[in-house]
Chains A and B, each alone.
Chain A
């Protein structure tokens, strides 16, 4: 449907005293990353600095076309460029398989768990899940795309939220140390639970950078492709979903709205009074009324805002592809269920499934939302190891829908998508590894030690012919850029 890639920052929980005495989460992340590259041969480590914070061997590209690296202490995985939603889900989850395999190999699977969530409940830390969508450079960004996307993104959490116990408050200013100090999760009777993990941490509607002033729409212009033709929409407001269905709906609806924008369809005339506060308020509204104040002075609801985008999509895009039709059908069914009884969606949406689990447990054990056990159960839902994950228990009990098979995820650990630039990158990497040649790989370029640069500026192309001719390319004179136009 559209070129898209996902970045996931993993949390790391040390579960045993034995390992906790020897390692920190930071060092364990490095250990696992090094094991995957050095022992499991999953890809090629960087041989040069990519950035000030990315020294050689901090990470590298994988033979599946993605990338694995350490970022601010977190093990982070960037999926390869994918064209289909099911590929995206398979490649996103492929990293879970890789990390589990490394823990198994290292003999510490019972001692350490990686976690697919976005917060801890103690320090107020947050870490991300980033969506990257390739769009045409022809679509005006700041005065057309940003305002048209904003109401959709603010309200998307009603089906895309991963759910969390409590809420995060503004950092406190510590007079003694003259700096801001992050504070732990709070649980009150007004906000015992909320639908999104990230909403409390988004403090701007649009901004260029990705830390401290996280925005609903990131405006950094770094396409990692031909800058004259493409723009990369980089979103960091979303939660890391465990539910494959919720992930697919979140990504699919966003792609549909981007397609409407690219095709110049008339967008819903909706403008929010305060997108950032609306994002937070929707997330915290346990009544599921989700009121939204509009610039016109009228108040509507998040469901109605989503319904307005859906109506335009149904009018202009229905029947355009099987994938679009899946998105439109499920989008409508989800909104209808949310308007009726949201708990009907506990087999599809994370925030609903988690809330149902926690409320069932509270009733059985006579607990309140204030009990810290609830925060531990919240965390447990997000572990990637099926032997100790509440989400996986729901799957095991056949109470959660899946959209990809484990076989597809296993294949995505090593094989690149067949229909994007990732294929060419992977093939070139394999040839260079066999020839034992020093190289620097990037998303849109491979620099060879001869000085030749293989340029891959169109993510839609597979560059198979360039890969097939790599021996010839290696013999060329230095500093000669190579790109082939007829290789699709």
Chain B
């Protein structure tokens, strides 16, 4: 059954905002990750860049 109901005259049609260079998830289905060869150093580098105090600034209202 075809999907119906797009608004053709939408003022802005965002591109995929999650897409990054080298993102190939659109090209295939679910993939088993290559957990045998994790890029551990790259993840560690990324974690070192996280602001140590950002959790202190994250103050939310209680919701439901």
Binding site for B on A (CB under 8 A): 9, 11-15, 25-26, 39-41, 63, 71-74, 76, 96-98, 100-101, 104-105, 115, 120-128, 130, 182, 210-211, 214, 236, 346-347, 357, 360-361, 364-365, 372-373, 375-380, 386-387, 390, 392-403, 405-407, 409-411, 413-416, 418-419, 423, 426-427, 430, 433, 464
Contacts and interface: CB of A to CB of B under 8 A. Distances in A.
Nearest to A98: B14
Given A41-B11, A122-B56, A399-B35, A423 B5 contact: yes
Interface string B14-45: 11111110010110011111110011101110
A377 B25 contact: no
Given A121-B55, A415-B5, A410 B16 contact: yes
Contact of A104 (B3, B17, B48, B55): B17
Given A378-B55, A406-B23, A9 B63 contact: yes
Given A14-B57, A125-B61, 18 more contacts: A25-B60, A26-B61, A41-B12, A63-B7, A72-B62, A74-B63, A97-B17, A101-B17, A120-B59, A130-B64, A377-B47, A380-B47, A397-B43, A399-B34, A402-B31, A405-B29, A410-B14, A414-B7
Q: Is the interface of B mostly helix, strand, loop or mixed?
A: loop
Contacts, number: 204
A96 B56 CA distance: 24
B16 A376 contact: no
B14 to A, nearest CB: 4
Given A26-B61, A100-B17, A376-B52, A405 B26 contact: yes
B5 A120 contact: no
Contacts of B11: 39-41
27 contacts: A9-B64, A13-B58, A39-B11, A41-B10, A63-B7, A71-B64, A73-B63, A74-B61, A96-B18, A101-B17, A124-B62, A126-B63, A127-B61, A127-B62, A182-B62, A214-B64, A361-B44, A372-B56, A386-B18, A387-B20, A397-B43, A400-B33, A401-B31, A406-B16, A410-B14, A427-B5, A430-B7
B61 A73 contact: yes
A399 B33 contact: yes
B50 to A, nearest CB: 5
Contacts of A125: 59-63
Nearest to B63: A127
Contact of B5 (A130, A210, A430): A430
A427 B4 CA distance: 8
A361 B19 CA distance: 27
Contacts of B60: 11-12, 25, 73-74, 120, 123, 125, 127
Interface of B: 1-7, 10-20, 23, 25-26, 29-35, 38-40, 42-44, 46-48, 50-64
A27 to B, nearest CB: 12
A120 B55 contact: yes
- What are the 5 tightest A-B residue pairs by CB atom distance, in nearest-first order? A127-B63, A101-B14, A375-B55, A73-B61, A100-B17
Given A121-B58, A372-B53, A419-B1, A398 B33 contact: yes
Contacts of A15: 51, 54
Contacts of B12: 39-41, 101, 105
A414 B1 contact: no
A418 B50 contact: no
Given A419-B1, A427-B5, A379 B55 contact: yes
A15 B58 CA distance: 9
A376 to B, nearest CB: 4
Contacts of A122: 55-56, 58-59
A464 B53 contact: no
A97 B19 CA distance: 10
B61 to A, nearest CB: 4
B55 A376 contact: yes
Given A40-B14, A372-B53, A397-B42, A418 B33 contact: no
A407 B58 contact: no
Contacts of B4: 415, 418, 423, 427, 464
B18 A100 contact: yes
Contact of A380 (B5, B14, B31, B50): B50
Contacts of B30: 401-403
